[in-house]
């Protein structure tokens, strides 16, 4: 391998990537033929790209494992440590059986109150990747892209607009300020505001 040494940091990041690929195997992005695992991989990559710490990027790669797979908190704790497991818990919707609006209101209130900036960074990168996927869907499918989602366009606009306000108000230091600004830019492209 071109003589480059694999560092402990590389090993941890690769382990998180492999874990996400294994756990999200067979899942697809809503209404597409795109493997779902590309989303958490993009989230982790965005966090690395913006200079976030290793544990934050690892949690980004794993951010949907509790919500969308059979993964347990204990398993994350054993493999990736207490901090990563806690971060993933913080960005996991507590009860997917609840209606969309209830879940999203919970997320909004949680992100308004949470004291740990790393949680906001992961949530912001998650929303940035979702918005980028929606933007690409709009380019290829037009407004039909909204039919993929459980909530209609006005509800989606409310959710993302509210989150953008939270990110802009709370992520004022780097790397969060740049990540929030980038997310806001894509949100404006998607929602035309």
pLDDT at 7 over 80: no
What does the pLDDT read at residue 115?
96
Work out the average pLDDT over 35-55: 97
Report pLDDT digits (tens) over 159-181. Answer: 999 999 999 999 999 999 999 99
CATH number of the domain at 8-191, please?
A: 1.10.3210.10
pLDDT at 18 over 60: yes
Q: What is the mean pLDDT of the chain?
A: 94
Report pLDDT digits (tens) over 134-152. Answer: 999 999 999 899 988 989 9
Residue 56: partners with Cβ closer than 8 Å, 6 or more residues away:
47, 87, 118, 121, 122
Q: Which of 1, 19, 167, 159 is nearest to 84 (CA)?
A: 19
Q: List the catalytic residues.
A: 67-68
pLDDT at 6 over 70: no
């Amino acid at each position: 391998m071109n003589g480059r040494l694999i560092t402990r940091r590389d090993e941890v990041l690769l382990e998180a990537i492999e874990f996400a690929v294994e756990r999200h195997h067979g899942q697809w992005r809503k209404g597409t033929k795109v493997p779902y695992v590309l989303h958490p991989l993009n989230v982790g990559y965005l966090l690395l790209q913006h200079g976030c710490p290793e544990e934050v990027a690892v949690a980004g790669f794993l951010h949907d494992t509790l919500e969308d797979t059979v993964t347990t908190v204990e398993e994350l704790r054993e493999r990736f440590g207490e901090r990563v497991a806690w971060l993933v818990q913080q960005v996991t919707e507590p009860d997917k059986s609840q209606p969309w609006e209830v879940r999203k209101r919970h997320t909004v209130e949680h992100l308004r109150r949470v004291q740990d900036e790393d949680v906001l960074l992961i949530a912001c990168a998650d929303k940035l990747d979702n918005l980028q996927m929606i933007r690409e869907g709009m380019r290829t499918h037009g407004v039909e892209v909204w039919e993929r989602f459980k909530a209609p366009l006005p509800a989606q606009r409310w959710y993302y607009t509210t989150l953008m306000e939270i990110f802009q108000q709370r992520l004022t230091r780097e790397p969060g300020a740049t990540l929030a600004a980038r997310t806001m830019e894509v949100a404006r492209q998607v929602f035309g505001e």
